Each structure stands twice: as structure tokens, then as C-alpha cells.
Amino acid sequence: MVIGSNKADINHSHAWSTITGKPSSFTPVSHTHDDRYYTETEINNKLKSIVIVKSFTIALNKVTSLTEKTYTIDVSLSGYTPLIAIATDYGNVDNNIFYCGISGNKVNIAIKQGYTGNAAIQAHVGVMYLHN
């Protein structure tokens, strides 16, 4: 039933028995998702060949002044392009002392200006790669 301005009547309905072409049971026997959608395991397996993560540990020299020190490590991996690099303390007392960035196949690790720790520092660098 149409009421003014060609809009449907929101109270319009049909009796269940008058609807044709409906399945006799729910969910119909032929209903399946498995052969049309990837499972979590299938997606994880596909991504393993596209995106990988590799870890590096680098020993940095003792910091003795307030100047920023930068170190560069080569993270080349045949067939892959580095996307993201994150540097964290590796067994150090102070946290969040590193800046990290990617330039080509190199990761630049900078010790934050003002950090004056008196021990040798190790940085743990995690790099995420994308398959070319």
C-alpha cells in the first residue's frame, strides 16, 4: 500500500504463509561459509609469505654527552622491502630512549638527546617487511 508522496506504509506486512520461495528450514542445508570465506588459519598462512618480522640486536656505545648519537644498521632482506622499524631497550634500565626510522634498506637509530646513561646500551630492533 502506498500512502502519499510515493512512500511505503511502514505498517505494511505480509502473513508468513503468503511468502513464497522461502526455504523450508533455517539455516538451509546448502548454506555454508567455509568454501567462500577464508578461515583465520588460512589468512595467517597467506600473510606469512607477504609480511614478515625480523629482529636485530645492536650494541651502542656509551653515551657521555647531551648530543644525539645516531647509528645505522643494514636490514636488507632479498625480495622484501622494510616498512616499519621499532627500537626498544634491550635489558636497559631506562625506557624509551630511542628514535627509529627507515631509509631504504637502512634503519637509523638515534639515542634521544639528553640521555646520559653511563653504561653500554643495546637496542632491540624489530623490522616489518613487505614481500616485493
| Amino acid letter, residue 10 | I
pLDDT above 70 covers a percentage of the chain that reads: 64
Mind listing the pLDDT tens digit for each residue in 40-61? 898 888 887 788 888 888 776 6
Q: How confident is the model at residue 113 (pLDDT cuts 50, 70, 90)?
A: low
Q: How confident is the model at residue 9 (pLDDT cuts 50, 70, 90)?
A: low
CB 44 within 8 A of CB 50: no
pLDDT confidence of residue 45: 85
Mean pLDDT of 60-84: 75
What are the two backbone dihedrals, phi and then psi, of residue 48, each rounded to the nearest 5 degrees?
-60, -30
Domains of the chain: 50-131 (2.60.40)
- DSSP assignments along 87-113, one per residue: EEESS-SS-S-EEEEEETTEEEEEEPT
Q: Residue 47 belongs to what H/E stretch?
A: helix 40-48
Joined together, the cell numbers standing for residue 79 give 625480495
pTM, rounded to two decimals: 0.53
For residue 27, cis peptide bond before it (omega within 30 degrees of 0) = yes
Q: How confident is the model at residue 27 (pLDDT cuts 50, 70, 90)?
A: low
Block residue for cell numbers 645492536: 58
Joined together, the cell numbers standing for residue 121 give 646500551
By the 10 Å C-beta count (0-12 exposed, 13-18 middle, 19+ buried), 118 is classed as exposed
